[in-house]
Amino acid sequence: MGFSSVNLIASSKRSAFNRISIHLTMTTNSIKRFNITKITDATVADASDALAIEEPLEIRLEYGTEDERQVKTVSVTMRTPGNDAELALGFLFTEGIITADPIKSIDYCFIACAENKENVIMVKLNEGAVPNLNNSERNFYTTSSCGVCGKGSISAIRTVSSFVNKKGVQHTIDAEVLYRLPDILRYYQDAFASTGGIHASGLFNLAGELLLLREDVGRHNALDKLIGAAITKEMLPLNNHILLLSGRASFELVQKAAMAGINMIAAVGAPSSLAVELAEEFNITLAGFLRNRRFNIYTAAHRILLPTNENTY
């Protein structure tokens, strides 16, 4: 079993989500091997290569009164199989479709054309719970590289979070804590170590201890899985935590982090311009290019305690 399906530090809290009826017998294999021809300079050789599995997951939502239940397909996303309940839960929450307490059950749906693959999941809401589907028009294919595909407009993505950080809340961390995070994340990335082609989201406490890690071929899926896991452990809001992204920081990832109350985001790669603007709007500390004991701070620098007497400007 890969690390992406386990937690480093378990929460002792019990929430309504811990009582969700989840009937999943998921396959946890996220890697498939292929025979390849490997070229090195003038050398040609047969070899075997491990690749991250990518398969579709259709997320369906059942809601309504006991006598009038409705089923709606909310999204079809390309993902790495595993932690599908967390992915569905995290997606519905970070898109503002559900709040943090109306889930009755999560289960796979069998369809004849799926070749026994677990690629359709049903999230059932409690009787009377009403999902907010107004800003979600993602009723068709969403690629694993771009979680915004299928949205009606940019305004639909600007979901209002009930956990947006207020300027009065102050948490600080030492730069030395940030320096350690990428090595810790990489150490525990089982699927990445095997394939070199999978994204990860890691949740750390302010002391730099890894609490949760989720991996997926899609960067937004990895974060949805992470936030879904945090919801089941009643950890929200995550305003006392650090989110580390294994790649770049996009607008959608910052938006999802804001929905969970995260106010410190570090990325190994670069942020986009819109990600920086959104982080500034939500008063989120955003650091990019975190590697080799270096990083850039783009917004809310007051939360990071910087080395003294090393400003070269």
For the entire predicted model, the pTM comes to: 0.82
pLDDT in tens, 254-275: 999 999 999 999 999 999 988 8
Distances in Å between the alpha carbon of 241 and those of 12, 135, 152, 202, 218?
17, 28, 32, 10, 22
The predicted pLDDT at position 146 comes to 55
Distances in Å between the alpha carbon of 194 and those of 33, 52, 93?
10, 8, 31
77 and 146 assigned to the same domain: yes
The residue among 157, 181, 203 that closes a domain is: 157
CATH number of the domain encompassing residue 224: 3.40.140.10
CB atoms within 10 A of CB 201: 29
236 and 261 assigned to the same domain: yes
Could you tell me if residue 162 is inside a domain? Answer: no
Could you tell me if residue 310 is inside a domain? Answer: no
Cα maximum dimension of the chain: 70
By residue range, what is the domain housing residue 191? Answer: 173-305
Could you tell me if residue 163 is inside a domain? Answer: no
Could you tell me if residue 311 is inside a domain? Answer: no
Q: Which residues pair with 27 in a beta bridge?
A: none
Which range is most confident: 140-149, 258-267, 304-313? 258-267
Could you tell me if residue 131 is inside a domain? Answer: yes
152 and 202 assigned to the same domain: no
- What is the C-alpha R_g of the chain? 20
- Which of the residues 109, 113, 146, 149 is marked catalytic? 146
The residue among 101, 122, 157 that closes a domain is: 157
Active site residue 146: yes
262 and 127 assigned to the same domain: no
The residue among 157, 185, 216 that closes a domain is: 157
98 and 146 assigned to the same domain: yes
pLDDT of residue 16 exceeding 50: no
92 and 196 assigned to the same domain: no
User: For residue 135, which of 160, 156, 149 has the smallest C-alpha distance?
Assistant: 156
177 and 111 assigned to the same domain: no
140 and 278 assigned to the same domain: no
pLDDT of residue 310 exceeding 70: no
124 and 91 assigned to the same domain: yes
23 and 125 assigned to the same domain: yes
The predicted pLDDT at position 207 comes to 96
- The number of distinct structural domains making up the chain is 2
17 and 136 assigned to the same domain: yes
Mean pLDDT for 105-128 is: 80
pLDDT in tens, 161-194: 677 655 545 789 999 999 999 999 999 987 666 6
Could you tell me if residue 165 is inside a domain? Answer: no
Could you tell me if residue 266 is inside a domain? Answer: yes
